[in-house]
Amino acid sequence: MFKIATIAIGGAAGSVLRYWLGGVVQRMTGGPFPSGTLIVNLSGCLVMGFLGMILTGPVLVREEYRVGILIGILGGYTTFSSFGRETFLLLADGQFGLAVTNVVLSNVLGLTGVWLGHRAGQRLFGV
C-alpha cells in the first residue's frame, strides 16, 4: 500500500511540475511549436536516465521510494521518459528489433489513437 501511495503522491507532484514548467517554457518561446512539451519530454528523459541508473546501482534505495520517483514523479511529469528508458534498456540488452518495434508502434499507433479519438469526438459532437 505504501508503494501505491508513493506513486500517487509522486504522480501528482510530477503532473503539477509538468504543467508549470511546460507553461513557463511555452510562454518564453511563444509561437505554435510545442516547446514546453519538448523541454518537458527531453528533461524527463535525461532525469530518467540518470536516476534510473543511480537508483538501481550505486545508490540503492527502497523499492517504494524508487518507484515513487521513477514511476510516480517522472511518470506524472512525462511518460515519454518511461518510453525512452524502456527502449534504451531493450537496446542495452541487445534487443534491437524490439526497441525499433517499440519506437515505431508507440509513435504510429499513438498518433493513430489521437486521430481516431479526434474523429470520434467530431462524430459524437457533430463538428
Gap between the Cα atoms of 68 and 75, Å rounded: 9
| 114 part of a folded domain | no
SS3 labels along 56-99: CCCCCCCHHHHHHHHHHHHHHHCHHHHHHHHHHHHHHCCCHHHH
Which bin fits 126, alpha (ψ -120 to 50), beta or left (φ > 0)? left
| 119 part of a folded domain | no
| 121 part of a folded domain | no
- Over the chain (127 residues), the average pLDDT of each successive run of 10 is 96 96 94 90 91 86 93 92 90 95 92 89 87
| 116 part of a folded domain | no
| 14 part of a folded domain | yes
| 35 part of a folded domain | yes
| 126 part of a folded domain | no
Give residue 67's domain range: 2-78
Give the predicted TM-score (pTM) of the model.
0.78
Report the domain count for the chain. 1
